[in-house]
Amino acid sequence: MSITVRSLTKTFGTFTALDGVSLEVEKGELMALLGPSGSGKTTLLRLIAGLEFADAGTILFDGTDTTHLSARERRVGFVFQHYALFRHMTVADNVAFGLSVLPRGRRPDKAAIAARVKELLELVQLGHLAGRYPAQLSGGQRQRVALARALAIEPAVLLLDEPFGALDAQVRKELRRWLRDLHDEIHMTSVFVTHDQEEAMEVADRVVVMNHGRIEQVGTPVEIHDAPASPFVYEFLGHANKLDCRIDGREVAAGGWSAPLARVAPAAADTPAPAGASAAAVAYVRAHELELLPESRAPEAAALAVVRHLTARGGQVRVELSRRPDGAVLEAEVSRAEADALRLTPGTPVAIRPRALRLFAA
Amino acid sequence: MKRHVLPGFSLTMGLTLLYLVLIVLLPLSALILKAASLEAADYWRIVSSQRAVATYRVTLTAAAWATLFNAVFGLTLAWVLVRYSFPGKRLLDAVVDLPFALPTAVAGVALTALFAQTGWYGRLLAPLGISVAYTPVGIAVAMAFTSAPFVVRTIQPVLEDLRPEVEEAAQSLGASDLQVFARVIFPLIFPAFLAGCALAFARSLGEFGAIVFIAGNLPFRTEITALLAYIRLDEFDYPAAAAVASVMLGAAFVMLLVTNSIQFWVQRHSERA
Amino acid sequence: MAAAGRVGDGPLLRRILIAVAVTGTLVFLLAPIAVIGALALGSGIGAFLDAIAQPETLHAIGLTVLTAVVVVPINVVFGICAAWAIAKFSFPGKRLLLTLIEIPFSVSPIVAGVMYIFLYGAQGLFGPWLQEAGVQVMFTVWAIFLVSLFVTCPFVARELIPLMQAQGSEEEEAALTLGASGFQTFVRVTLPNIKWALLYGAILCNARVMGEFGAVSVVSGNVRGQTNTLPLQVELLYNSYNTVGAFAAASTLAVLALLTLGAKLLLERHGHVGEALDAAPVPSTRLSLAGDRA
């Protein structure tokens, strides 16, 4: 089932949690809502579930308006951040709950419910814990019970609020892969909320980056990674250098370095600043787009810097630099081979120049 | 109109308000209206009559003594229950609630029996020239009994939450036990202590059942305000009953304000800590 | 050198304080119970049973139980409604509403009785109107029911509200997304989570209804064998110098008090079991026996 969200607005008192958000979740897709706390991602998820009601805007499931339906009528599977398992029921009773509250006419008989519960617990690999109480389970197990419980009602869509938020790092990683596999198996339209970009990128088909109640960017993990659409997305994803720069005609310049717009920022070159005028701008250069050169071979238009710290990460080396003369801290990422060739150690002077950058109005 | 996610708001809120209006607000307004219907001069004459003023004095004095006793006894009891372990502690803890569980009239006849001339305690006290039953002391004793748990129960949780590190820090800085108690522990439990005392005092002001048996009920000497209201009602002197009851109601609201403010302060205090 | 133990752990001080606390409790808090027992049974078990079996005392017991049967369920329903509205929703004026609910605990029982006289009595707000309709409320069992409702209306609500606030609404929300109706959600999810607090509130409410003296004595008219509840009967017998009768009647109320304390101990233990099991916060039951605010 597809989900369409149109200009959704929601305020809590004076706080605007969602500010005219529109979004399309396609059938069978696994989508992540990514953003810092207070960005409105959880509010959006709860609005889709019917656990909050919007001040304005509409929500459609497969083109049918569900804006005014209650949570009960929407048939969404919702997995709460802290699981919200019924503490006084066993695992099996938790999973059976959604079936046992169906109106008498549509309620399966006891044996059918038991069979379905068994099947679901097998699916989440917890068949052996059916008789336990939630308090007797680990965090990862509770998470999977919550998922099985949500799936029991054969929901139209599956919504998960910070599904891995309360788990420790190891369990988290396993569960992430497991959720991805599960989704590939059942192909249910699913939306989950996370503040962890790695999680979003690794699990989701598409990622929605949110900030201050608005959507900053929607795209596949690759699109978001390769072409962040706004300064916020750059900063949120991290490992990007922010440079204050000036644009002069068809040239961009920052801290002793300059280059033709056409070469480093082709998109911006199409709309050059008026000739003779000079405009301030902000440029973002990702760590791997910052080129390091031996100081001796520094081209005229390069900036100079000193290596402050090196961190090896797999085949890559992360280089922390201090730009001369202003001491601005920059981050670069080079291959081990390059690092060796440049003989990088703390204190090594180098020349730097961006291979590519993205410009935003200052 | 804001839409609620969980069902039942209108139903439960409607029933709650309806019930409160019928059971609490209507009777409350009836008394206030009755008192307000008196001429100001009449009202003043009733509430400032010598007999009425004597009841205020008797009630306030006895309540003050009762509260003072409970402040000391309650603090000791709370300290012992939190800091020490000894056989029978759970039982002692349970018995603390007895005055709240025991109907006040039953407490009244029992205390009277204890302190009457021939009673277990009266017999011991008579040779010393002390009489409790049918004196203002008896009123204070009855008030102290019925409000005894307040101080214990408000201090106890705060004392339990006190982290040993705080005391250890003070000790490591060279403070003696007495200094640690006076300068570290007591200031930390003081808001709760004060709240407990205020609750005990408020309760004592309104107490009736336990007192009427032991007080002797002599006008000007051992008559409490609640009893005066009762007597006026019995005499069908409705204006006087309304006026005296309205004074008690006013006192109750003042104490409600005081205890609410203290509790607000306690909350802020504990948040800071 | 810092003391080895915590402040006040010295053996001498410790012994003195424990002795003071235990003696004080025995002499001051427990002695009244003992003296009731002693005086009730002082003339032998036969006299005690005779005293209890007096028709007027039996009638008082019956009326007391009837009052509890009427009042407790109503205040349980009120407590659940108030707690649901206050704990599960946000709305302006919540603090005011909470204060309103607590008012009966702050008002002297005598004042409570007087209020009702001025509402339903001949001199009261509705008096003329009731007289015209030929309905007598004051000095009947109805008046006893009404003041008992007033005096005990906060008991259940004040047990449930903090508990339900602490438990939050996530489980109820989960039940809704799983298709449960409001009623199913309450009965199958909320109720099991609050049942001990509810039971505890009801027990406290019951103890107070059965033991209320001041308010009932104002509105009952003390009609022997008609509107005398057990505490009023104690007073009546006591004032007519029937010591055995008075203390026999009092002893039944004392037993009720002890049972209430026992129930409190048991339920607290239940609360703690729940706490250890699933970190569910337990209500602060410390002051809840009080007819006053915690």
Reported as type and span, the H/E element at residue B72 is: helix B50-83
**Which residue among A80, A87, A150 places its CB closest to the CB of C278?**
A87
Cβ(A31)–Cβ(A208) below 8 Å? yes
Asked, for residue C279, whether it belongs to a domain, the answer is no
d(CA B162, CA B136): 39
DSSP assignment of C264-292: HHHHHHHHHHHHHHH-PPPP--TTTTSSS
Number of domain units in chain B = 1
Cβ(A353)–Cβ(A301) below 8 Å? yes
> What confidence tier does C225 reach under pLDDT thresholds 50, 70, 90?
low
Residue environment code for B161-183, b if the CB has 16+ CB neighbours within 10 A, otherwise e: ebeeeebeebbeeebebeebbee
Q: Which residues have CB under 8 Å from A296's CB, separation 6+?
A: none
The reply to whether C238 touches chain B by the CB within 8 Å rule is yes
The pLDDT value recorded for residue C264 is 86
The reply to whether C142 touches chain B by the CB within 8 Å rule is no
Could you say which DSSP state residue B49 is in?
Answer: S
Check C279 against A133: CB less than 8 A apart: no
The reply to whether A279 touches chain B by the CB within 8 Å rule is no
Alpha helices in C127-225 (DSSP H): 127-133, 141-152, 154-167, 170-177, 182-185, 191-211, 214-220
Tokens of A101: 């509250």
Check A78 against C173: CB less than 8 A apart: yes
How many CB atoms are located within 10 Å of the residue C191 CB?
Answer: 13
The pLDDT value recorded for residue C284 is 38
Q: Which residues of C touch A88 (CB under 8 A)?
A: 192-193
Asked, for residue C135, whether it belongs to a domain, the answer is yes
Going from the C-alpha of C267 to that of each of B153, C84, C261, C264, C284, the distances in angstroms are 17, 22, 10, 5, 12
Q: What is the nearest CA distance from B120 to chain A, expressed in angstroms?
A: 52
Ranges B243-252, B259-268, C121-130, C254-263: which has the least confidence: B259-268
Asked, for residue B87, whether it belongs to a domain, the answer is yes
- Strand A76-79 relative to strand A157-161, pairing: parallel
How much is the pTM?
0.88
Asked, for residue C115, whether it belongs to a domain, the answer is yes
Determine phi and psi for A338, rounding to 5 degrees.
-60, -45
Cβ(B213)–Cβ(B112) below 8 Å? yes
Asked, for residue B31, whether it belongs to a domain, the answer is no
d(CA A338, CA A353): 15
Domain CATH for C129: 1.10.3720.10
Asked, for residue C248, whether it belongs to a domain, the answer is no
**Which residue among C3, C29, C292 places its CB closest to the CB of B95?**
C29
The pLDDT value recorded for residue A251 is 82
Asked, for residue C218, whether it belongs to a domain, the answer is yes
d(CA A249, CA B38): 90
Query: Whole-number mean pLDDT of chain C?
Result: 87
Cβ(A271)–Cβ(A281) below 8 Å? no
Number of domain units in chain C = 1
Using only C-alpha atoms, what is the Rg of chain B? 23
d(CA B260, CA B255): 8
**Which residue among A72, A149, A152 places its CB closest to the CB of C176?**
A72
Which residues make beta-bridge pairs with A242? A284
The reply to whether A86 touches chain B by the CB within 8 Å rule is no
At residue C278, does pLDDT exceed 70? no
d(CA C7, CA B170): 10
The pLDDT value recorded for residue A268 is 66
Asked, for residue B198, whether it belongs to a domain, the answer is yes
pLDDT digit of tens for each residue in chain B (273 aa)? 467 889 999 999 999 999 999 999 999 999 999 999 999 999 999 999 999 999 999 999 999 999 999 999 999 999 999 999 999 998 999 999 999 999 999 999 999 999 999 999 999 999 998 999 999 999 999 999 999 999 999 999 989 988 888 888 888 888 888 888 988 899 989 989 999 999 999 999 999 999 999 998 899 999 999 999 999 998 989 999 999 999 999 999 999 999 888 888 877 776 655
Asked, for residue B90, whether it belongs to a domain, the answer is yes
Q: Which residue has the tokens 């005066």?
A: B228
Check A71 against C176: CB less than 8 A apart: yes
d(CA B14, CA C171): 24
Asked, for residue B197, whether it belongs to a domain, the answer is yes
Q: Which of residues 119-178 of A touch C (CB under 8 A)?
A: 133-135, 149-150, 152-153
Q: Which domains does chain A have, with CATH numbers?
A: 3-235 (3.40.50.300), 239-361 (2.40.50.100)
d(CA A254, CA A259): 9
Could you say which DSSP state residue A229 is in?
Answer: -
d(CA A194, CA A30): 13
Q: Provide the domain limits for residue C87.
A: 67-227+254-270
d(CA C99, CA A255): 65
Q: Which of residues 163-222 of C touch A (CB under 8 A)?
A: 170-171, 173-181, 184, 188-189, 192-193
Low-confidence ranges of chain A (pLDDT < 70): 267-277
Tokens of A168: 């420790």
> A12 by DSSP, 3-state: which?
strand
How many CB atoms are located within 10 Å of the residue A32 CB?
Answer: 27
The amino acid that residue B121 corresponds to is Y
- Strand A15-25 relative to strand A190-194, pairing: unpaired
Determine phi and psi for C18, rounding to 5 degrees.
-65, -40
Task: Using CA coordinates, name the residue in chain A closest to C92.
Answer: A13
CA B158 from centroid of its chain's CA atoms: 20
Q: Which of residues 43-82 of A touch B (CB under 8 A)?
A: 50-53, 70-71
Domain CATH for B153: 1.10.3720.10
**CA neighbor of A282 nearest in space, from A247, A325, A320, A329:** A247
Q: Provide the domain limits for residue B215.
A: 39-272
Determine phi and psi for C160, rounding to 5 degrees.
-80, -40
Tokens of A227: 């072409």
Q: Which of residues 105-124 of B touch C (CB under 8 A)?
A: 105-107, 109-111, 113-114, 119-121
Alpha helices in chain A (DSSP H): 41-49, 71-74, 91-100, 110-123, 139-152, 169-186, 197-203, 221-226, 231-237, 261-264, 266-269, 336-342
The pLDDT value recorded for residue B3 is 77
> C181 by DSSP, 3-state: which?
coil
Check B80 against C149: CB less than 8 A apart: no
Asked, for residue C99, whether it belongs to a domain, the answer is yes
The reply to whether B20 touches chain C by the CB within 8 Å rule is yes
The pLDDT value recorded for residue A136 is 94
DSSP assignment of A295-316: GGG--TT-EEEEEEEEEEETTE
Tokens of A149: 């419980």
Asked, for residue B12, whether it belongs to a domain, the answer is no
Residue environment code for C11-34, b if the CB has 16+ CB neighbours within 10 A, otherwise e: eeebeebbeebbebbeebbbbbbe
The amino acid that residue A76 corresponds to is V
Q: Which residue has the tokens 């004076």?
A: A14
Q: What is the nearest CA distance from B8 to chain C, expressed in angstroms?
A: 7
Tokens of C113: 């009785």
Could you say which DSSP state residue B3 is in?
Answer: P
